[in-house]
Amino acid sequence: MRAVVQRVREARIEVAGDVISEMGPGLLALVGVGGNDGLEQAIEMARKLVHLRIFDDEDGRMNRSVLDVQGTLGVVSQFTLYGETSKGRRPSYGGAAGAEAARPLIEQVAQAARELSVPVVMGRFQADMQVYLLNDGPVTLWVDTEASK
């Protein structure tokens, strides 16, 4: 499982011009599910996101998590994170999980984060979304559950 994570001051997600989710300060995570991912990776991704220390402490060091600062986590499904671009000019998405497998795992990431006491807002699975955000820093990171093994 992969995620591009941005520390945000605020974010909102729209579908067909309607706001479906919005949040104040926290993390916005664009999350991709790989073909070999399962429940273990979803729970691990949630744990990593909730405990990622990228918010400033009283000394200005990135030493606090979204949990510590009582922020919100935004979770948006992003299968294109598994786009393979090493050959040709058109990405191949063969490494991404199919929708039937990915949907419950994206929902599990959100549920596991909620169980760790972080408020969660979500995008709409398989929808054409417009994601607006104010990146704080800017701080943007790549998080991968495979990197921890």
| Domains along the sequence of the chain with CATH | 2-148 (3.50.80.10)
Written as six digits, the tokens of 65 are 């998590």
43 pLDDT above the threshold of 80: yes
100 pLDDT above the threshold of 60: yes
Residues 6+ apart with CB under 8 A from 116: 46, 47, 50, 67
pLDDT score, position 51: 98
Q: Which residues are catalytic?
A: 78-80
pLDDT band for 147, please (50, 70, 90 cuts).
Answer: low
Reduce the DSSP state of residue 148 to 3 states and report it: helix
Q: Cα(133)–Cα(120) distance, rounded to whole angstroms?
A: 15
pTM of the model: 0.94
Written as six digits, the tokens of 30 are 């664009």
Written as six digits, the tokens of 93 are 């998405």
Region 8-33: what's the mean pLDDT?
98
Region 98-107: what's the mean pLDDT?
97
Q: Work out the percent of the chain whose per-residue pLDDT is above 70.
A: 98
Residue of higher predicted confidence among 87 and 14: 14
Q: Residue 15 in contact with residue 140, Cβ under 8 Å?
A: no
Region 135-142: what's the mean pLDDT?
97
122 pLDDT above the threshold of 90: yes
135 pLDDT above the threshold of 70: yes
DSSP assignment of 50-85, as one string? Answer: HH---EE-TTS-EEE-TTTTT-EEEEEE-GGGG-B-
Q: Cα(124)–Cα(11) distance, rounded to whole angstroms?
A: 15
Number of Cα atoms under 13 Å in the Cβ half of residue 62: 12
Region 35-42: what's the mean pLDDT?
97
Mean pLDDT, rounded, of the chain? 96
pLDDT score, position 74: 98
pLDDT score, position 149: 47
